[in-house]
């Protein structure tokens, strides 16, 4: 009788845990691969205060992708990283990690080990009771916030709330505050109703508290530049500091290139990233940064887009696609657009799009591709009818995204302006679309 009762009890305890397995993180494989690659590009440099969180999330992703042994290895590394950073063998920073391990062993069928980790969580919670029945511990709020901000824009507000709660409990945790203000800054870019001066002031204070955080320094400098407060020598000095640091997506290199291209010069931006690539030829993240810059030059700076620049853009994109085999859909689309700038390149671009359209993609990726192809048909003057068809296909996929909104907006503009032959059809189509 006790054996019959034990399994439901175990499952209910597992569901009550605060960990990656209970945080409603259920994206498809495509999103998992993209997040995994972003985590890999952060690196594992000693001293990274988020290293334990990185390993915890990588472990969860590896499990979801079907690699449970890798998952256990990463969860073990997470525990070691937390203990090294905190210089202690136990503490509330292990609550999420133990919860992950309890779930992993349960899912692998080892209920004994699962129960062991549940007991470890219970022991920590008894030793360090929660501030109140309805509050989590600060460490749990912080890790949950950091995890949610890695997944999607629709989780950003929740992540902001969790960071605020964590910082309210432990305001001395500098890395929490730095990530919090960077999250606010990222959210501001997409919602200009927010108070820029307020966000900028929070960034300034965070930068003073976290002077070695070059990623934060670059983003602060970018916002100062937008307001007309730019010192090119300060930008160049920051560039030398970023070049001198270990390679990481947290180094600020990508954002720094954007500051260079807008507020210093395109040529110096190219020189900076090329120096970085030469200095670290095996670092795929730097090649990704370089590919983004060259795509921008080819697409928006025709005066700089020499034949040599065009060939470099193509070569970099081909390398990046090979280096990110599981998360390179956007780069493949970018490469197709780059070929449009090459003599007789339209046939190659069309071939690439047709290959992508023939792939079995998840709804969100399919929607993005259809929107991009609709725009491609329009700019290459292959017929407004075909462009309309693909905008419709993108809009009717029941997934809310910027690409769906863009396709709907384009259809509205066409309907209301110059394309009368299909005006009624588009009007009826738009009216029939469900509100997501």
Q: Where are the domains of the chain?
A: 1-128, 360-436
Q: What is the pLDDT of residue 8?
A: 67
What is the tens place of the pLDDT at every residue in 7-43?
668 899 999 999 999 999 988 999 999 999 999 999 8
- Tell me if the domain spanning 1-128 has CATH number 1.10.3720.10: no
Q: What is the pTM of this model?
A: 0.92
HSE on the CB side for 359, CA within 13 Å?
A: 17
CA distances from 421 to 385, 386, 412, 427 (A): 10, 13, 14, 12
User: pLDDT-derived band of residue 195, with 50, 70 and 90 as boundaries?
Assistant: low
Q: What is the pLDDT of residue 32?
A: 96
Please compute the mean of the pLDDT values over residues 307-329 and round it to a whole number: 96
User: pLDDT-derived band of residue 5, with 50, 70 and 90 as boundaries?
Assistant: very low
Distance from C-alpha of 18 to C-alpha of 20, rounded to nearest angstrom: 7
- Reference 390, options 364, 419, 425, 366; nearest CA is 366
Q: When comparing pLDDT for 369 and 225, which is higher?
A: 369
- What is the rounded (10 degree) CA torsion for 25, 35, 30, 96? -30
What is the tens place of the pLDDT at every residue in 414-433?
887 765 678 888 899 999 99
Please compute the mean of the pLDDT values over residues 268-285 and round it to a whole number: 97
Give the pair of three-digit tokens for residue 34. Answer: 């993209």
Q: What is the pLDDT of residue 419?
A: 59
Distance from C-alpha of 267 to C-alpha of 306, rounded to nearest angstrom: 13
Contact 293, 313 (CB under 8 A): no
What is the tens place of the pLDDT at every residue in 226-253?
888 889 999 999 999 999 999 999 999 9
What is the tens place of the pLDDT at every residue in 87-102?
999 999 999 999 999 9
Distance from C-alpha of 165 to C-alpha of 142, rounded to nearest angstrom: 8
Please compute the mean of the pLDDT values over residues 344-368 and round it to a whole number: 95
- Reference 106, options 70, 54, 147, 63; nearest CA is 63
What is the tens place of the pLDDT at every residue in 162-174?
999 999 999 999 9
Sign of CA dihedral 322, 325, 331, 335: positive
- Would you say residue 281 has pLDDT above 70? yes
Mean pLDDT computed over every residue of the chain: 92
Locate the DSSP E strands across 131-230.
none
CA distances from 242 to 211, 214, 252, 274, 339 (A): 13, 7, 7, 14, 32
Please compute the mean of the pLDDT values over residues 409-418 and round it to a whole number: 85
- Would you say residue 188 has pLDDT above 70? no
Q: What is the pLDDT of residue 134?
A: 85
């Amino acid at each position: 009788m006790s054996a019959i009762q034990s399994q439901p009890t175990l499952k209910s305890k597992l569901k009550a845990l605060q960990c990656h397995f209970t945080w409603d993180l259920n994206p498809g494989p495509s999103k998992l691969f993209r997040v995994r690659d972003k985590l890999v590009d952060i690196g594992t440099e000693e001293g990274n205060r988020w290293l334990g969180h990185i390993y915890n999330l990588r472990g969860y992703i590896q499990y979801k992708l079907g690699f449970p042994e890798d998952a256990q290895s990463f969860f073990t590394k997470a525990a070691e990283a937390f203990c090294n950073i905190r210089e202690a063998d136990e503490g509330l920073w292990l609550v999420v990690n133990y919860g992950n391990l309890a779930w992993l062993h349960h899912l692998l069928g080892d209920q004994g080990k699962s129960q062991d980790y549940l007991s470890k969580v219970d022991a920590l919670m008894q030793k360090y009771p929660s501030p109140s029945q309805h509050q989590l511990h600060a460490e749990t709020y912080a890790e949950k916030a950091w995890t949610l901000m890695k997944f999607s824009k629709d989780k950003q507000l929740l992540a902001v709330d969790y960071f605020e709660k964590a910082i309210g409990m432990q305001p001395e945790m500098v890395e929490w505050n730095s990530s919090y203000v960077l999250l606010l800054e990222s959210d501001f870019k997409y919602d200009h109703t927010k108070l820029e001066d307020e966000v900028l002031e929070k960034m300034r204070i965070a930068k003073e508290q976290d002077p070695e955080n070059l990623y934060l320094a670059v983003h602060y400098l970018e916002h100062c530049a937008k307001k007309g407060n730019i010192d090119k020598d300060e930008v160049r000095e920051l560039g030398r500091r970023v070049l001198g640091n270990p390679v990481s997506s947290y180094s600020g290199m990508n954002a720094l290139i954007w500051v260079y291209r807008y507020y210093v010069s395109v040529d110096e931006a190219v020189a900076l990233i090329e120096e970085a690539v030469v200095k670290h030829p095996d670092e795929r993240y730097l090649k990704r940064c370089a590919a983004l810059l060259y795509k921008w030059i080819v697409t928006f700076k025709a005066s700089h887009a020499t034949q040599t620049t065009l060939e470099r853009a193509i070569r970099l994109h081909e390398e990046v696609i090979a280096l990110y085999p599981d998360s390179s859909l956007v780069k493949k689309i970018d490469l197709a657009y780059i070929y449009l700038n090459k003599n007789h390149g339209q046939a190659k671009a069309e071939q690439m799009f047709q290959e992508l359209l023939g792939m079995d993609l998840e709804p969100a990726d399919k929607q993005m591709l259809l929107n991009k192809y609709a725009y491609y048909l329009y700019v290459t003057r292959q017929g407004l009818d075909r462009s309309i068809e693909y905008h419709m296909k993108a809009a009717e996929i029941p997934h809310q995204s910027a690409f769906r909104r863009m396709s709907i907006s384009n259809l509205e503009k066409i309907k209301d302006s110059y394309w009368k032959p299909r005006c009624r059809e588009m009007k009826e189509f738009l009216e029939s679309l469900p509100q997501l």
